[in-house]
Each structure stands twice: as structure tokens, then as C-alpha cells.
Structure 1
Amino acid sequence: MDEAASMSVLLEGCLSDVLSLTSPRDACRAASISKGFNSVADSDAVWEQFLIPDYREIIAEAVSAPLVFGSKKQLYLCLSDYPVLLDRGYMSFQLDKESGKKCYMLGAKELSIAWQGDTRYWEWGHVPEAGILIEVWWLSIRGKIASVILSQKSTYVAYLVFRTTGDSRGLAMPATTRLSDGGIQMVTENIYLRRPRASGRTGHVPQQENDEFPRRRKDGWMEIKLGEFECNEGDDRDVEMAFDEHQSWKTGLIVEGIELRPK
């Protein structure tokens, strides 16, 4: 190998090491600079560093269709764009595209929901893996996840993911959420699945400063924050999330699950 070729290999190796210390977004930007940058920025050596250490084990446990990819970059993008179904299809996994950290969705069948086994109150099947509320007074939804499976040195936020039907009612009442993390409990009140309607001639909607309302996601579902917690290196505990509302009869709620993703 001549001196020029040796220098080229050395520079490519150095560039690969540098890009591996950046982020997926930075690597994609570098790929657009030139053909030389493109070959390094899209290389398996770079994208292997962005993948989580246990991605092979997670893929092996998948119950969904096998992932098809030709490079580590394609695998990364696939894991960030499409959920991998785990645990009988009741839980799903994705990578956060920006950070490469783990995201999990605890599906409705993975949650503990009051009266979920009684067909008078909950229905299953019309929306894949989601629970449809027929009618209840006591709405209680709980989920639990082991912190050890999450990305370390990260702050996670838990969200209840749901939809409502056109004939839903009773969902504009204030609810309470709880997040228990290693004996520490975070309680949030005045959480609403739907904004209260205007009342009286003024059309005024009663609202307090600390009221929390859901937001619409890109996938069309709604989400409301349940709480957040730190996931530090060496942590091995259960984190529990809960949503409770016991003030009125409710119907028309479709629960997809509880999602945990990095803040």
C-alpha cells in the first residue's frame, strides 16, 4: 500500500472514530458533505456505535415479522421507525431517532385496568391490542416496568396513550396520576382526558393554572403525561404508573397503552 493510500485509510479511521462520538443526526449531516464523508458516515463501524448494546437480544425476542436491513444504518432507522413487538405482542420497543435511547410501549393488555376482564365494562378486538371502554364509574389504569431494561443515565417520561370515540362522555372530569419510583411517589392532580366544555352564557371554560390536558401525537393518538423519573446506571427497580378517575360514569375511551420515552 502506497503512502497516499495509507493516509486515506488513516483519515477514514479517524473520521469514523470522530463521527461515532457524535449523534445519528450529525452522521447524516456529515454524509451530505461529500462522497468521502458519505462512505464513512454511512458505514457499519459508525452506526454500530449508535445502536444499543443489547439490540441483538431484543430482535431475537421479537414476535413481529423479522427485520430486513442491509446495513447498520438501515437497522437503526428501522428500529426507530417501526415498533418491534415483544411479550406476546403486548409490549413494543423502538429507538428514539434523535438519541438512540430505548422507548417502550406497555400495551393495554400489559396493563392492569379495573374490570378489564368483564365484558360489561371493557371490549377488546375492534382496535388491535387496544381496550375500548364500554362504561365504568371506577377508571383505574396501572402499568409497571423494570428500570433495568431502559437506557441508563436518562430521564424518562411516562404517557397514557389513548383515543376517544365520537359518542364518548364523562371524560372531562379531573383525574389523578401517580408515578412510584423506588419508594418515591409523584402525584399529579387535575389531569384531563378531554377539555371541559364551556358553560353558561359567557362560554367560559373553567380552568386552573395547573390543569393538564392531552396533546395529539403524529400517529393520530392522544397522550397525557403521567410523570417522569431518572434512570441511572446500576438501577434495578420497578417503576409503577397509575391513572385514576372516580367521579362520573365514563364511556368511549380507547386505551392503547402507556409509553415510556426519554425526555
Structure 2
Amino acid sequence: MALTESEAVGLIYALPEECIAGVLSFTSPPDACRSSSVSTNFRSAAESDAVWESFLPPQYKSIISRSADSSSSLCFSSKKELYLHLCDHPLLIDEGKKSFWLEKRTGKICYMLSPKDLLIVWMENPYYWRWTSLPDARFPEVAELIDVWWLEIRGKINTCMLSPATLYKAYLVFNLSGSHNGFVNLPIEAEVGGHSRTVFLDAKQGGVRVYNPRAEMGYCQALRWREEDGGRPKKRGDGWLEVELGEFFNGGDDDEVEISVLEVKAGVCKSGLIVHGIEIRPN
């Protein structure tokens, strides 16, 4: 004999909390939160450590252990509190060279590589770059460009550090000082995982020419590009700018993804770039 709708609903309400928690662990954090309004049993299951432990990445304890704050400020009464904290408060790890957090909707791993975790050509020369501390920066120090012709920034990340079966995008997070020079409509070559694209570090739209005053034969070499070939930076909620460098899919293999930002062709003197880091987060 078939059950009526009300009888079926009654059976769901009568399910043991452990069964409900087992089902919710296969959903998502938003789904678990919404299910809290179904019944008291569902609310209790949706708040349980068993459910929120399943939303945390398998290696979260190992990642947290790499932070100086792992023993003191990360003690919470529930796994849900820990999850939400890791979503809203990026954690400095690896001696402050990386920042780790979770995407709130999915629980997938995100990182930002600090300038000290990147290869910045000429960084060791105080005539070209300098370390500076800013109150709105995530890291103790960020890199400020004083004056270079050759701009080259490189980073890398192992895919085993990231969430599997996930499409990731890489972003340069930066600002331009009030006295910046050389970046207006200057095409920058960005590369992620062997795939390159042109980006710009200024928000001004419209293609123009960039001249090379050091070109041979005493004349200026004009570099042209189509505006649609390049990405423009966007303002973030934290006040910094970001520009998308490219994307890659993490299929779960143990691979190393290389990321680069390069401008060495235009012969333009550049200054005033403040590099916060390279951010890697799910698409």
C-alpha cells in the first residue's frame, strides 16, 4: 500500500539524527544550512560535527598545523565554527609566505602566494624593488616596484595542495601607487599552466600604441593589440585590484602549475606597482 504524502513526510521527520547527518554530509554547506528549518532533528543534524567535518578538506589539520596560530586562535566548539572561520579569516601558513582559506559555498581550498613566495626578478636590488608594510595587506610585507624596464614575476603551486576535480583561476592581486608610471594601456603577458593571454594592469579602456624608444635604427617601434585580447583589473572588496591571469583544471594528479607575469618587450620604464600576491581560487 502506497504511503500518502503526509505519511512519507512523517517518516522523514522520524529518521534518526545520525541518518539525517549522513545524508546531509553528501550535500553542500548552503544545503545543510537550509535544511535546519525542516525540523528539530534536521537542525541538530545540520549543526553536527559529522556534517561539517565532511565539508572541510581532508588535509585541513595538516594545513592548519603549518600556521603559527594553529594552537591558540583556532580552538572552536564545533566544526561548523571552524569551517566558517576558515572561510572568513584567511590563515597565514608556511612562515607567512602563503594565505589559506576556504570558499564558503563549496569548502574548496584557496591560496594566495605572497611576494616572498614568488620569484620577482631584481627583487634583491633595492634600486629596483623594496619591501614595504601596508595596513590593508594580508602579509607582513608586500613588494613595491621602484623602477624597472624588465618586469618578471613567477610563482608555482602543486595541485595536490588544492581541491581535486576543480577548475581554478589565478589572479595577480596588486595596487598602483599614485605616482605609478608606464602601465597605462601596456600589454602584459600572463601565463598559467602553459597557456598565455594578454592582460593590463590599469583600468583604462581603449587600445593605444606603446613605443620602444630604444629600438634599432633610431625609430620607434609601435606595438599594437586588440582590446578584446586583454583582461582589465577589477576592484576587490578589500580595496586591492585583481586581474585574471588564466585558469587550469585540477584533475587530482600530483602536478606543478607555473604562473607568470611578464613584460620585457616594450622598452618602457615601469614604477609604482605594489604586488600583494598571486591568488588561486575556484572558478
TM range (shorter): 0.7 to 0.9
Higher Rg: 2
Query: 1:194 aligns to what?
Result: 202
Task: Give 2:148's match in structure 1, choosing from 127, 130, 136.
Answer: 136
The Cα offsets for residues 12-63 of structure 1, whole Å up to 9 and x where unpaired, read as: 2221112111100111112244443222111111111101111111111112
Distance 1:45 1:62, change over 3 A: same
In 2, Cα distance between the equivalents of 1:198 and 1:29? Answer: 46
In 1, Cα distance between the equivalents of 2:163 and 2:39? Answer: 33
Q: How does 1:160-175 map to 2 (within 5 A)?
A: 160-172=172-184, 173-175=186-188
In 1, Cα distance between the equivalents of 2:206 and 2:165? Answer: 44
State the SS of the aligned residue for 2:229: coil
The residue identity in structure 1 corresponding to 2:239 is: G
Query: 2:65 aligns to what?
Result: 60
How high is the TM-score relative to the length of structure 2?
Answer: 0.81
Instruction: Show structure 2 runs of 5+ residues with no match.
Output: 1-11, 135-139, 209-224
Query: 2:170 aligns to what?
Result: 158
2:160 is the counterpart of 1:148: yes
In 2, Cα distance between the equivalents of 1:109 and 1:213? Answer: 25
Q: How does 1:223-242 map to 2 (within 5 A)?
A: 223-233=242-252, 235-242=253-260
- Identical-residue share of aligned pairs (%): 46
Query: 1:252 aligns to what?
Result: 272
In 2, Cα distance between the equivalents of 1:179 and 1:38? Answer: 43
Task: Give 2:44's match in structure 1, choosing from 17, 39, 44.
Answer: 39
Query: Does structure 2 conserve the Cα–Cα contact (< 8 Å) formed by 1:92 and 1:105?
Result: yes
Aligned residues: 246
Distance 1:71 1:179, change over 3 A: same
Query: 1:203 aligns to what?
Result: none
Instruction: Show structure 1 runs of 5+ residues with no match.
Output: 1-6, 201-205
In 1, Cα distance between the equivalents of 2:244 and 2:133? Answer: 26
Query: Does structure 1 conserve the Cα–Cα contact (< 8 Å) formed by 2:158 and 2:256?
Result: yes
Offset, 1:130: 0.8
How high is the TM-score relative to the length of structure 1?
Answer: 0.87
